[in-house]
Each structure stands twice: as structure tokens, then as C-alpha cells.
Amino acid sequence: MDKMKVTYEAMLSLAAEMALDEAVRKFRAERIYREIDQSLVAGDEDTFYRLAKELNEMK
């Protein structure tokens, strides 16, 4: 019974870590999309390409 509890806790911890990683990834992607939009409005080509590269590296 104790071994099952340890296994369950490990699986629960892994699931929580995966959910947190996904939330952080979504947050970063949304931030990058906003900054890309701002760079397009400002006509800042260098920032646009840098952010587009960063976004592609996330995928």
C-alpha cells in the first residue's frame, strides 16, 4: 500500500509540473505575440525577426 502511495504522489507531481510548464509556455507565447504586434506597428524589423525566431524555437 505504501508503494502505491509513493507512485501516486510521483505521478501527481509530474502532472502538476506538466500543467505548470504548459501554462508558462502559453504565457510566454502570448507575450511574444503581443510584442510582435507592437514591433509591426512600430516598423521595428529587427525586433520582429528576433521575436519570430524566439517563438519558432519554442515550438
Q: What pLDDT score was predicted for residue 3?
A: 83
Global confidence as pTM: 0.79
Residue 5 has what pLDDT?
85
pLDDT, tens digit only, all 59 positions of the chain? 688 888 999 999 999 999 999 999 999 999 999 999 999 999 999 999 999 999 999 98
Neighbours of 36 (CB within 10 A): 19
Q: How far apart are CA 37 and CA 44, in angstroms?
A: 10
Per-domain boundaries in the chain: 25-59
